[in-house]
């Protein structure tokens, strides 16, 4: 059986932690920043973690060797 290919779009957006969680960067911090509050921009800097539901699909189908 051939090797599975990693979906490169997913590899650029998601990383796997040592405990098996899927980490990603939050959206809405690229432009139009003047109308967003400082608190909101500060919270968008933090990494986000996916819920348990889509983690299985990401790890098995999109990032098989991640």
Q: Within the chain, what is the greatest distance between any pair of CA atoms?
A: 53
* pLDDT tens column, 10-57: 999 999 999 989 999 999 999 999 999 999 999 999 999 998 888 988
The token pair that represents 45 in the structure block? 């800097």
Instruction: Give the integer Cα–Cα distance in Å for 8 and 27.
Output: 19
Rounded to the nearest integer, the mean pLDDT of the chain is: 93
Task: Please work out, in degrees rounded to the nearest 5, the angle formed at the alpha carbon of residue 52 by the alpha carbons of 28 and 5.
Answer: 80
Task: Look at residue 16 and give its three-state secondary structure.
Answer: strand
Q: Is this prediction's pTM over 0.85?
A: no
Q: Which CATH class is domain 8-62?
A: few secondary structures
By the 10 Å C-beta count (0-12 exposed, 13-18 middle, 19+ buried), 48 is classed as exposed
């Amino acid at each position: 059986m051939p090797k599975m290919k990693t979906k490169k779009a997913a590899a650029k957006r998601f990383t796997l932690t040592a405990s098996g969680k899927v980490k990603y960067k939050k959206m809405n911090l690229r432009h139009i920043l003047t109308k967003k509050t400082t608190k909101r921009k500060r919270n968008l800097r933090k990494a986000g973690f996916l819920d348990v539901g889509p983690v299985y699909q990401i790890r098995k189908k999109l990032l098989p060797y991640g």
